[in-house]
Amino acid sequence: MTDKICVGALAGAFGVHGEVRLKSFTADPEAIADYVPLTSEDGEQVFDQIQLTRSLKNGFAARISGIGSKEEADALKGLQLFAPRDVLPNLPDDEFYHTDLMGLEVFDSGGALLGRVHAVQNHGAEDLLELQVPGSSKTVLMPFTLAVVPTVDLSAGRIVADPPEGLFD
């Protein structure tokens, strides 16, 4: 497990006075401002203050320390923002940070390897595990529900799944 969790991303400038478009990945989207300082993945860029100024479609307009112009805001477009794991809330047993699922091997209930978690996606209804199929460049999207994924064992680095019939055909 990593000691940093991606909690948001910058989506370019909002206006001409240095505000940014901010996408929040936290359970309570406004809570992203509570987890400062936020950093880039490599830790090179540190943002000590975030002030949400208004709600936007798919996020917020925000003022972030060190960003004072439209050009500076646009230069950070696509930058992911990370918070230290120890400042984030502890999760219940049946919830996981997406980053903790990445790379886990997925087996069926008979022990056969189905794939490895390549990504976790959410298009509105439920989370989907994107699995890289062994020995292939093919990926499969599997629902990440309790019925399909009854066991996630982070300490063993594995997931046991009961995928819907025909998913891997």
pLDDT of residue 1: 52
pLDDT mean over 12-27: 92
Q: What is the total count of domains within the chain?
A: 2
- pLDDT tens, position by position, 100-145: 899 999 999 889 999 999 999 877 778 899 999 998 889 999 999 9
> Does residue 58 sit in the same domain as residue 115?
no
What is the rounded CA–CA span in Å between residue 41 and residue 44? Answer: 8
Asked whether the predicted pLDDT for residue 7 surpasses 80, the reply is: yes
> Does residue 73 sit in the same domain as residue 47?
yes
| CATH code of the domain covering residue 125 | 2.30.30.240
Q: What's the domain range around 46?
A: 4-87
DSSP the chain: --SEEEEEEEEEEETTTTEEEEEE-SSSGGGGGGGPSEE-TTS-SEE--EEEEEEETTEEEEEETT--SHHHHHHTTT-EEEEEGGGSPPPPTT---HHHHTT-EEEETTS-EEEEEEEEEESSSSEEEEEEPTTSS-EEEEE-STTT--EEETTTTEEEE-PPTTTT-
Domain annotation covers residue 135: yes
- pLDDT tens, position by position, 23-76: 998 888 999 999 999 999 999 999 999 999 999 988 999 999 999 999 999 999
> Does residue 79 sit in the same domain as residue 16?
yes
What's the Cα-to-Cα distance from 142 to each of 12, 81, 134, rounded to whole Å?
32, 27, 15
> Does residue 70 sit in the same domain as residue 18?
yes
> Does residue 76 sit in the same domain as residue 147?
no
> Does residue 105 sit in the same domain as residue 75?
no
Domain annotation covers residue 169: no
pLDDT of residue 69: 94
> Does residue 156 sit in the same domain as residue 126?
yes
pTM of the prediction? Answer: 0.74
> Does residue 45 sit in the same domain as residue 113?
no
